[in-house]
Structure formats: structure tokens, C-alpha cells
């Protein structure tokens, strides 16, 4: 009876759509069709009523894939983002559903892939450029190269020029180069921010030429983007979390140790591209960048506030190559006009340019092997690294407690004293007890490559919830397993918060999975996707988990999954 009601209502919706002059494919679940069609009718539009939804059940491309997750420092994505895919092999790029419908979803995500008919290689790389522009925000542009079937990830942030975050100033300037690629006049560029005490100033000399990746001259109008970050509030924007894992010196020779910064005095990010979307990678003449400095910055070499004559290490990070380089040093001077302390760097390519003192790290420290009764538990548990003498917390982590899992400490400051590791029955999803530890190690040296074990066999295994992809076929038909989607991604959120957390992926060959992140008696917003996470048509809001199974019930015959 229930199915007949669904079917009759679905046929009525189709009739209305046809009368309005819009055609739709019939091999769709009426449950999904009704929801989408009603929303479309309310909006009163016939143009592309499903807007990509008609491709919901195509097999997503999983190789040579680029996942892009846009965000904004304002917390809200800009309206009307213009996305451009350009470059030598732009015509070989498709969505992960093998279409040319390039659209960022409302969560700021888009999945791209190399055309599955093409196999990238070192001998035949696929190179293209992604550009994202929005009015009032600085331009985002990045080149990508695929030399195999491995996947890549890109998570750029939009900075609002008028209202950047505290500690940040941002601006985008227009420069012009003649037919020979030469800048025809000198420019002084400063990203003003009235409520910020320190800033940066960039000087571009007349006659400077900009060069692309192939060392070819870039001509025409240029977008010159500058972000400056002070050391009062801007440090969180250091690239790679501020850890230089495999740095080189100015001669490109590998340094033996990783480092972070203690402290940073000031830094800026410079990015240049043409209106033809060519990325500038170097200059024919050095560009001068002057950094104003916070006078309260402590020089770790002198243990006193910075002063005129102090030397500050200059370090670069290239977002194009991922290379950290110790470039040299800058000398602090006092600007006679402003009275501010400052230093100037002569740079030869766009990058992050950081004035700060390296703090050398141990690349690899002790390893801890877990002994537990856990298996495939998708929760992480809170632990802290503390000073063995004082008990003060040095660092905190969430770690996997599945049996035989290994947790390794790395990139910790070399001067760290003897330490201990403390573990708590407090997980990353629904918490627990952060006051009483369930394990505490003996003292150890953070730089020693020793092995330890963490025995938590006394910790009870939390209850699991089973996820099931339940496709039903009418009597006389059976499931055609070859026709069903290869995967169904699942996520949950606290009701109404729209903060989605991944759960296990259900596959064609494994139509059930377990998660330990949901609890019986709690309500959640739940959703699922069969196209790799582009669309999430299966939704259940404020759903009460009242038993040990959550099933996606799908009428397989109406989707062509039965034979």
C-alpha cells in the first residue's frame, strides 16, 4: 500500500513536469524524484531542473582525481564564485562524474579528474590551472600536474579585502607589462589595514619582467596579490602548520632536521598571475619587500626584545613546489619617518616570505604500539604529552586505539625535556573523561627512536551501529549487483549544525559497515551520497537512533537495480 502511494504520487509529479515542458529520465527512485521535483516546482524553474542530479548514479571517477574544498576566512563562502579551468590540458579535465558541469557545491567542494580515457605519466603529464575569483576577495590560482593516477587535494581560502581576519591585511593590485613583458613604471604596493599595527610594503622596479613556469615572459595586465600577517594574530596562517619538514638551504642542499618557528616576526604571501591566467613563478629583477615588525618580538638569540641591528632569518615556502628554503638573513632598521622597526628582503620569486627564527625539531621520536580489544573502531582518543618534571602539557593528540595500531611522535622541539604520554577515555566524537588518565607512560626522551606499548585491554569496546545499503526488489525479480552504485558515502552531523563527519563507505561488495560514532538514544542528521560526495540526496534529519542498525531503504526496481 505504501509503495503504491509513492508510485502514484511520483507519476503525478512526472505528469506535472511533462505538462510544464520539462523532460526527465524515468529510472529514478520516486522517493528522491518527489523531493527534488517539489523543490523545483516551488522554485518555479524548468531550466536544468535537477542540475547535475540526473547523473547521481553514474560511477564516480576515483583515479587521477583532484578534490578542492574552498573556504573563506569570513566563515561564509563568497557569492557568485567564478571558477575557471585553463592551461595546456584544460580540455582533458572533467568532473568526477565525467561531465563538463563544473560547479562548486554549496559546501565549497568540487571534484575534478583527468578524463578516464587518458592515462597521465611522467612522459605525458597532464597540466592545468584552477582559478577562482569573487568580487571583494583576493584571487585564487594554482597550477596542477598529474603524472600518474594518484589523487590530489587543494584547500584554498578566500580572503575578504575589506574585512580580513585580525592580524591580516590583503589586497590585489593591477600592474601592466608591455609586449616584451616589461613593467613600464615602478610600483609601490601596500595592503592597507587601518586596525593593524604592522604591515608590508612591496617595491617593483621599472623594467622588471615576470616569467612563467617555463621561464617564458608573461605579458599584459597582472593581478598582484599580497597578504601580510603580523605576529600578534596572524601566525595561524603559516603554511603547512608552520612546520618545515624537509627544508633546504639557499643552495638547495637538504638540511638534516625539520624546524618550526620560535618566534615569527612577520611574514607575507605574494602571488602574481596575468589576466590570461598565467602564473608568475619568477622575476628578472629582485622585488623588495619591507616588513614592519612588532617591537615586542623577543629575539631568541639575545633573549631580549628585537632592536636595530638584530639579524632575523629569512625563510621562504613555495606553494607551487612545497619547498621550504632558508634564504639568509635580514637586518632590522628603524624607519625614520614612521619610527617603526622594519627589515627588507630582496626576493626573486612569489612565495611565502617569513622573518622568523627556526626552532629545530626531531624528525622522528618514540613509537607507541596499541594493545587493545578494539578492531576497526572509528573513534580517536585524547592523549597529552607532558613535561615529566612539571606536568605541563607540551602537545595534545587524538589517536587510534585499534589493536596493533602505531602512534609515533615526530617534529618535536629538540630542547624538550623528559616527557610522559597520558591517555584518557575521551574520544573525538562524544567525549568522556579528560581528568582521569587510563594510561601513563614512563619518562622518555622525545628524540629517541624507542618503541613502547600502550596497554588498554581493560578499556571496554564501545557499542557499534550497523549501516546497511538495503535495496529491495519486487517478488519475481532479484538484485542485479553489477548495476548498483560502486559506493555509498555516509555522514552525520549534530541536528541542525550542518557540521558533517564522515562515516564508513558502503560498497557494492560490502553492503554493510559498522560505525562507533553513533549512539543509541541520540538524534542525528544523516545523509548519504552515491556520486563520491558531490550530491547528498539521501537525507534524514533529526533521526533517532533507536536500534543497532541504520538502513538506507531503496526501491531497486525503480532505479534499474533489479532483473
**Structure confidence by residue, pLDDT tens digits, 325-336:** 999 999 999 999
What are the E-state strand segments in 296-340? 298-299, 304-305, 311-317, 324-331, 333-334
pLDDT at residue 303 above 90? Answer: yes
Give the residue extent of every domain in the chain: 65-159, 166-361, 372-455, 465-559
d(CA 240, CA 316): 12
Query: What integer is the mean pLDDT of 380-407?
Result: 96
- Is the pLDDT assigned to residue 474 strictly greater than 80? yes
Q: Write down the pLDDT at residue 58.
A: 62
Average pLDDT, integer, range 127-150: 97
Average pLDDT of span 298-317: 97
Q: What's the order of all strands across the beta sheet hosting 333-334?
A: 187-189, 200-204, 287-292, 341-347, 333-334
The third-level CATH classification (topology) of the domain covering 65-159 is Immunoglobulin-like (2.60.40)
How far is 247 from 241, CA to CA, in rounded Å? Answer: 14
DSSP code of 36? Answer: H
Q: What mean pLDDT value characterizes the chain? A: 88
Fold of 166-361: Chondroitinase Ac; Chain A, domain 3 (2.60.220)
What digits encode the pLDDT tens for the residues 65-75? 999 999 999 99
- How many DSSP H helices and E strands does the chain contain? 2, 41
Specify the higher pLDDT residue, 266 or 181.
266
Per CATH, is 465-559 categorized as 2.40.160? no
Split at pLDDT 50, 70, 90, the class of 84 is: very high
pLDDT at 46 over 60: no
Residue 370 pLDDT more than 50?
Answer: yes
**Least confident span in 52-61, 157-166, 351-360, 477-486:** 52-61
Residues 6 or more apart in contact with residue 487 via CB below 8 angstroms? 60, 505, 506, 507, 508, 530, 532
Q: What percent of the chain has pLDDT over 70?
A: 90
pLDDT in tens, 171-217: 999 999 999 989 999 999 998 777 899 999 999 999 999 999 999 99
Element spanning 507, H or E: strand 506-507
pLDDT of residue 532: 87
pLDDT for 25 equals: 37
Closest CA to 270 of 307, 227, 237: 227
- Hunting for cell 594554482 — which residue is that? 142
Strand 287-292 and strand 298-299: pairing? unpaired
Eight-state DSSP code of residue 88: T
Residue 470: which pLDDT band, with cuts at 50, 70 and 90? confident
pLDDT above 90: percentage of residues in the chain: 76
**Are 469 and 555 within 8 A, CB to CB?**
no
Q: What is the mean pLDDT of residues 242-262?
A: 95
pLDDT at residue 268 in the model: 97
Q: Which pLDDT does position 12 carry in this prediction? A: 38
Mean pLDDT value of segment 511-527: 94
- DSSP 8-state secondary structure symbol assigned to residue 54: G
pLDDT above 50 for 8: no
Reading phi first (left if > 0) and then psi (alpha if -120 to 50, else beta), residue 178 is in beta
Q: How far apart are CA 535 and CA 103, in angstroms?
A: 11
d(C-alpha 473, C-alpha 70), whole Å: 40
Is there a contact between 76 and 125 (Cβ–Cβ < 8 Å)?
Answer: no
Q: Residue 282 contacts by C-beta under 8 Å, 6 or more apart in sequence?
A: 210, 211, 215, 348, 349
pLDDT bucket at 509, cuts 50 / 70 / 90: confident
CA quadruple 46, 47, 50, 54: dihedral, nearest 10: 110
Q: Cα–Cα distance between 438 and 425 in angstroms, integer? A: 7
Residue 19's pLDDT band, with cuts at 50, 70 and 90, is very low
Q: Do 465-559 and 65-159 have the same topology in CATH?
A: yes
pLDDT for 551? 81
**Separation in Å, CA 541 to CA 464, 499, 519, 538:** 20, 13, 16, 10
pLDDT at residue 547 above 50? yes
The pLDDT assigned to 66 comes to 98
What's the whole-number mean pLDDT along residues 135-142? Answer: 96
Per-residue pLDDT at 162 exceeds 60: yes
Q: What is residue 556's DSSP assignment?
A: G
Residue scoring higher pLDDT (307 or 559): 307
Amino acid at each position: 500500500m505504501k509503495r503504491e502511494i509513492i508510485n502514484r504520487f511520483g507519476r503525478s509529479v512526472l505528469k506535472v513536469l511533462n505538462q510544464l515542458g520539462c523532460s526527465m529520465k524515468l529510472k529514478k527512485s520516486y522517493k528522491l524524484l518527489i523531493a527534488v521535483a517539489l523543490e523545483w516546482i516551488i522554485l518555479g524553474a524548468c531550466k536544468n531542473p535537477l542540475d547535475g542530479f540526473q547523473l547521481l548514479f553514474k560511477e564516480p571517477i576515483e583515479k587521477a582525481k583532484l578534490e578542492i574544498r574552498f573556504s573563506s576566512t569570513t566563515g561564509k563562502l563568497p557569492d557568485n564564485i567564478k571558477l575557471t579551468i585553463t592551461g595546456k590540458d584544460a580540455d582533458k579535465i572533467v568532473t568526477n562524474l565525467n561531465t563538463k558541469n563544473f560547479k562548486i557545491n554549496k559546501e565549497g567542494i568540487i571534484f575534478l579528474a583527468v578524463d578516464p580515457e587518458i592515462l597521465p605519466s611522467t612522459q605525458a603529464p597532464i597540466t592545468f590551472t584552477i582559478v577562482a575569483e569573487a568580487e571583494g576577495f583576493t584571487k585564487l590560482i594554482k597550477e596542477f600536474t598529474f603524472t600518474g593516477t594518484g589523487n590530489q587535494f587543494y584547500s584554498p581560502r578566500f580572503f575578504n579585502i575589506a574585512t580580513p581576519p585580525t592580524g591580516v591585511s590583503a589586497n590585489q593590485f593591477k600592474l601592466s607589462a608591455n609586449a616584451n613583458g616589461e613593467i613600464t613604471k615602478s610600483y609601490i604596493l601596500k595592503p592597507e589595514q587601518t586596525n593593524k599595527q604592522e604591515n608590508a610594503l612591496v617595491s617593483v622596479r621599472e623594467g622588471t619582467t615576470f616569467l612563467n613556469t617555463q621561464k617564458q615572459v608573461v605579458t599584459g595586465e597582472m593581478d598582484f596579490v599580497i597578504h601580510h600577517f603580523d605576529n600578534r594574530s596572524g601566525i595561524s596562517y603559516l603554511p603547512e602548520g608552520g612546520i618545515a619538514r624537509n627544508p633546504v638551504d639557499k643552495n638547495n642542499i637538504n638540511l638534516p632536521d625539520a624546524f618550526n618557528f620560535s618566534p615569527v616576526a612577520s611574514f607575507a604571501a605574494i602571488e602574481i598571475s596575468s589576466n590570461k591566467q598565467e602564473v608568475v613563478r619568477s622575476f628578472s629583477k629582485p622585488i623588495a619587500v619591507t616588513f614592519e615588525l612588532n617591537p615586542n618580538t623577543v629575539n631568541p638569540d639575545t633573549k631580549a626584545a628585537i632592536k636595530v641591528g638584530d639579524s632575523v632569518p629569512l625563510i621562504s615556502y613555495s606553494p607551487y613546489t612545497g619547498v621550504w628554503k632558508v634564504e639568509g638573513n635580514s637586518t632590522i632598521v628603524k624607519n625614520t619617518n614612521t619610527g617603526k622597526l622594519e627589515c627588507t628582503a630582496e626576493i626573486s620569486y612569489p612565495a611565502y616570505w617569513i622573518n622568523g627564527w627556526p626552532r629545530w625539531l626531531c624528525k622522528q621520536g618514540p613509537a607507541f604500539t596499541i594493545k587493545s580489544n578494539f578492531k576497526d573502531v572509528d573513534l580517536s582518543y585524547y592523549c597529552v604529552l607532558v613535561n615529566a618534571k612539571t606536568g605541563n602539557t607540551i602537545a595534545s593528540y587524538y589517536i587510534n586505539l585499534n589493536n596493533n595500531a602505531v602512534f609515533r611522535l615526530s617534529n618535536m622541539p629538540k630542547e624538550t625535556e623528559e616527557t610522559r604520554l597520558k591517555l584518557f577515555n575521551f574520544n573525538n566524537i562524544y567525549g568522556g573523561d579528560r581528568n582521569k588518565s587510563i594510561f601513563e607512560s614512563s619518562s622518555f626522551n622525545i628524540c629517541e627512536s624507542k618503541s613502547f606499548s600502550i596497554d588498554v585491554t581493560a578499556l571496554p569496546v564501545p557499542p557499534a551501529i550497523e549501516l546497511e545499503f538495503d535495496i529491495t526488489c519486487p517478488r519475481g525479480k532479484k538484485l542485479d549487483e553489477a548495476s548498483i552504485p560502486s559506493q555509498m558515502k555516509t555522514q552525520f552531523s549534530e541536528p541542525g549544525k550542518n557540521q558533517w563527519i564522515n562515516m564508513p563507505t558502503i560498497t557494492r561488495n560490502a553492503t554493510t559497515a559498522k560505525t562507533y560514532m553513533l549512539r543509541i538514544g541520540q538524534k542525528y542528521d544523516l545523509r548519504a551520497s552515491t556520486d563520491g560526495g558531490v550530491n547528498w540526496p539521501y537525507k534524514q534529519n533529526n533521526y533517532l537512533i533507536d536500534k543497532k542498525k541504520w538502513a538506507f531503504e531503496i526501491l531497486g526496481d525503480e532505479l534499474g537495480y533489479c532483473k
